[in-house]
Amino acid sequence: MTNERPRGDFYQRVEHRIGWLTPVIGVSAALIAWRLISARAAIGVAIGAGLIWLHYVWLRRVTIAVVREAVKRTDGPKSSDSSFMLLKLSVGYALIAIMAYVIVSYFRLPIFSVLCGLLALGAAAMIGSLYAVLFDNH
């Protein structure tokens, strides 16, 4: 008897790990920016990380809904619900850009720090996936 887990469970663990690593990396980067650069830069990094984490949560929910809709209607025509979900999926990045612009222009935060905060999701995905491949791949 082997102690193997289903593949779906592996991917769910990776998704969960990315979900909590994103704010952890964002807070850590904000603390480093505060120590090395300034409080305004740290606030920008934290806001960028918060925006990208919210987008990740939203993207994950919309993707799950799209997959469920696709499984329900594999042979039928596309419903208006699936088209609306795809619209929400594509509009998310535009909303992040608009929110980042408003935050940078209104609060006069360094744009580079907000952009660095947005990279927290990429860093979390790399770290979470690397951990999964090295230590969680049974």
Question: For 111-131, what is each residue's pLDDT tens digit?
Answer: 899 999 999 999 999 999 899
Domain range list for the chain: 9-135
Cα–Cα distance measured from residue 135 to residue 125, given in angstroms and rounded to the nearest whole number? 15
CA dihedral 26, 32, 38, 42 (to 10 degrees): 10
| Helix (H) or strand (E) segment spanning residue 36 | helix 7-36
Using an 8 Å Cβ cutoff, are 52 and 32 in contact?
A: no
Sign of CA dihedral 83, 86, 92, 98: negative
Alpha carbon of residue 101 to chain centroid:
19
Whole-model pTM: value is 0.78
Dump pLDDT digits (tens) for 57-105: 988 888 787 777 777 766 555 555 666 766 777 787 888 888 888 888 8
